[in-house]
Amino acid sequence: MNAMTADAADVRTQPAARAEPFFSVRDIHSYYGESYIVQGVSFEILEGEIVALLGRNGAGKTSTLRTIARTEVPELKRGEIWLAGNPLHSMKSHEAACSGVQLVPEDRRIISGLTVEENLILSQVAEPRGWELERIYEHFPRLAERRKQEAVTMSGGEQQMLAVARALARDLKLLLLDEPYEGLAPVIVQEIERIVAGVKELGITTIIVEQNAVAALKLADKAIILDMGQVVFDGTAREVLDNEELRHEYLAI
């Protein structure tokens, strides 16, 4: 589709009607109060790509994801974030969610006291909705088996599965996964990897933050390395795996 057709098809795309990447972050700066954390991060992602966002502890990975999802903190003070022609930078978190950004935070935010099914239904309360329950259960048979179980009593891997399923229950265009493998046994990590690969097959774009850089790079098309709130590398996953210096310096692998 050329820029002219995009213009004609949808006026909302007009401000970004140049040949735009699917997702772009342009010189974003964000703060926790006076603390200046995300310091001019820029990158672009094509639709359907998996991007591994890597870097040492405290590099600003979570803060970058939260800035993209437009959570209350950190506060975005400068820069632009565009998803499919929509300006996330001028949105609140619920509006970003309505535009298709779904953040699965490290703690997964599974709601205690609710069953698996109730957790799923809750994510469908607001429009626009994504997958129906039936489709979710077909895709995640384990969740179907456990639909009446209190969700927080499931294993870590099953809870991670539910967190991804909840994102699919919304209108999902950009999935933000913050350390999805954390605390999971290797065999369960493999299971979550298959789920992330499945999300890619659906054409959905994903940013995955992981301490387990090797596992994240295995799935990723592209890698971005952050250090002290700035991008120090932006290239292919292969380039990172082949660059020993880079791996030692920023990833300890």
Kindly tell me which of 65 and 199 has the beta carbon lying closer to Mg ion: 65
Task: Please state whether the peptide bond connecting residue 128 to the residue before it is cis, i.e. omega within 30 degrees of 0.
Answer: yes
Instruction: Tell me the closest approach of the beta carbon of residue 29 to ligand ADP, in angstroms.
Output: 13
Name residues whose C-beta falls within 8 Å of residue 12's C-beta, 6 or more positions apart in sequence. Answer: 85, 86
The separation between the first and the last C-alpha atoms of the chain, rounded to the nearest angstrom, is 41
Instruction: Tell me the closest approach of the beta carbon of residue 210 to ligand ADP, in angstroms.
Output: 10
Q: Which does 55 bind (CB under 5 to 8 A by kind): ligand ADP, Mg ion, none?
A: ligand ADP
Q: If binding is defined by CB under 5 A, does position 123 make contact with Mg ion?
A: no
Q: If binding is defined by CB under 5 A, does position 67 make contact with Mg ion?
A: no
What percent of the chain is helix, strand and coil (3-state, nearest 5)?
Answer: 40, 25, 30
Select the residue interacting with ligand ADP from 11, 34, 57, 186 (CB under 6 A). 57
Q: Which does 73 bind (CB under 5 to 8 A by kind): ligand ADP, Mg ion, none?
A: ligand ADP
Q: Binding segment for ligand ADP among 56-64, 75-83, 159-167, 245-253 (CB under 6 A)?
A: 56-64
Interface of this chain with Mg ion, residues 93 to 112, rule: CB under 5 A = none
Q: If binding is defined by CB under 6 A, does position 61 make contact with ligand ADP?
A: yes
User: Greatest CA span in the chain, whole angstroms?
Assistant: 52
Q: Are 120 and 154 in contact (CB under 8 A)?
A: no
Q: If binding is defined by CB under 5 A, does position 62 make contact with Mg ion?
A: yes
Kindly tell me which of 62 and 123 has the beta carbon lying closer to ligand ADP: 62
CA-based nearest residue to 219, from 227, 229, 210? 210
Rounded Cα gap, residues 17 and 226, in angstroms: 29
Half-sphere exposure in the Cβ direction for 156 (13 Å, CA) = 13
Q: Binding segment for Mg ion among 36-44, 55-63, 159-167, 191-199 (CB under 5 A)?
A: 55-63
Instruction: Tell me the closest approach of the beta carbon of residue 55 to ligand ADP, in angstroms.
Output: 6
Alpha helices in the chain (DSSP H): 3-9, 61-69, 93-98, 116-123, 133-139, 141-145, 156-169, 186-201, 213-219, 237-242, 244-246
Q: Binding segment for ligand ADP among 54-62, 119-127, 193-201, 243-251 (CB under 6 A)?
A: 54-62
Q: Are 19 and 6 in contact (CB under 8 A)?
A: no
Residue 113 backbone class (left: φ over 0; alpha: ψ -120 to 50; beta: rest): left
Rounded Cα gap, residues 94 and 77, in angstroms: 19
Q: If binding is defined by CB under 6 A, does position 157 make contact with ligand ADP?
A: no
Q: Whose CB is nearest to Mg ion?
A: 62
Instruction: Tell me the closest approach of the beta carbon of residue 32 to Mg ion, in angstroms.
Output: 13
Kindly tell me which of 35 and 155 has the beta carbon lying closer to ligand ADP: 35
Site residues for ligand ADP per CB under 6 A: 32, 35, 37, 55, 57-63, 73
Q: Which residues of this protein are in contact with Mg ion, per CB under 5 A? A: 61-62
